[in-house]
């Protein structure tokens, strides 16, 4: 995109407006649960840009889509976008359209791949982390429920700390922070935080915890989520 303070050219304005029009589609990455779903969002983003910027490249794809009765049947359902993109990809003009969109973006200094990749990678990393930490989250919540402590701020906070630590084990940028914390709490087995758990050592006021906690929060944001929503899920 254009640098700050520079007057935009007509082409840059056109692209910026089209890009902004597709932000809602792009934000769909945060609702994806695997690579296939992410690919659907990416391609819907490309298709939307083509519609607004490159009608000659878009129209053959649109015509290819509308003749498929399955797309029409599913258009008002949660499967509508998937059906539309799946059909669009079968067009022999699909790859040409995607390339045209990428070239159009490049002509105004925008790299769509560099915009999309961080979203995809952030989401996939977060999904891996929450899936790996799901068993211990369920174990912790079951223990809280058994002790009638689900509404105890202190007990819930202690449980969340353990869960957040396990999340960090699956976030590559936090490898060092996770090791530091396991040393702080004298964890004999870094992948098993509940073994020889000493609540007195798990002090959220410690500097090492702030680094870990903020790092996991940042990973949640990169994945289009928050710690609270992931804990409540």
pLDDT in tens, 182-229: 999 999 999 999 999 999 999 999 999 999 999 999 999 999 999 999
DSSP 171-229: -GGGHHHHHHHHHHTT-SSTT-TTTT--TTT--TTSHHHHHHHHHHHHHHHHTT--HHH
Residues 10, 186: Cα–Cα separation, whole Å: 61
Residues 214, 212: Cα–Cα separation, whole Å: 6
What is the longest distance spanned by two Cα atoms in the chain? 66
pLDDT in tens, 67-120: 988 888 888 888 999 999 999 999 999 999 999 999 999 999 999 999 999 999
pLDDT reading at 2 higher than 50 = no
Q: What angle do CA 25, 70, 26 make, to 5 degrees?
A: 5
DSSP 27: G
Q: 30 CB contacts (<8 Å, ≥6 apart)?
A: 123, 223, 224, 225
Residues 21, 80: Cα–Cα separation, whole Å: 19
- pTM greater than 0.85: yes
Structure tokens of 227? 């710690």
The pLDDT value recorded for residue 68 is: 87
Contact status, residue 105 vs residue 15, Cβ threshold 8 Å? yes
């Amino acid at each position: 995109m254009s640098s700050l303070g520079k007057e935009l050219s007509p082409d840059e304005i056109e692209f910026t407006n089209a890009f902004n029009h597709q932000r809602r589609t792009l934000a769909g990455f945060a609702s994806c649960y695997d690579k296939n779903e992410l690919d659907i969002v990416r391609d819907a983003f490309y298709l939307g840009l083509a519609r607004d910027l490159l009608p000659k490249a878009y129209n053959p794809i649109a015509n290819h889509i509308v003749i498929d009765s399955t797309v029409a049947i599913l258009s008002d359902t949660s499967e509508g976008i998937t059906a539309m993109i799946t059909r669009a990809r079968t067009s022999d003009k699909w790859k040409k359209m995607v390339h045209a969109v990428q070239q159009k973006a490049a002509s105004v200094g925008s790299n769509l791949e560099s915009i999309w990749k961080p979203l995809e990678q952030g989401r996939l990393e977060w999904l891996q982390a929450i899936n790996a930490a799901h068993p211990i989250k369920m174990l912790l919540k079951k223990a809280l429920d058994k002790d009638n402590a689900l509404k105890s701020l202190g007990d819930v906070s202690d449980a969340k700390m353990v869960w957040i630590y396990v999340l960090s084990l699956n976030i590559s940028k936090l490898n060092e922070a996770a090791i530091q914390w396991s040393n702080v709490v004298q964890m004999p087995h870094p992948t098993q935080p509940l073994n020889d758990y000493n609540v007195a050592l798990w002090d959220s006021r410690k500097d090492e915890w702030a680094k870990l906690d903020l790092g996991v929060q940042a990973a949640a944001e990169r994945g289009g989520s928050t710690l609270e929503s992931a804990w409540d899920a």
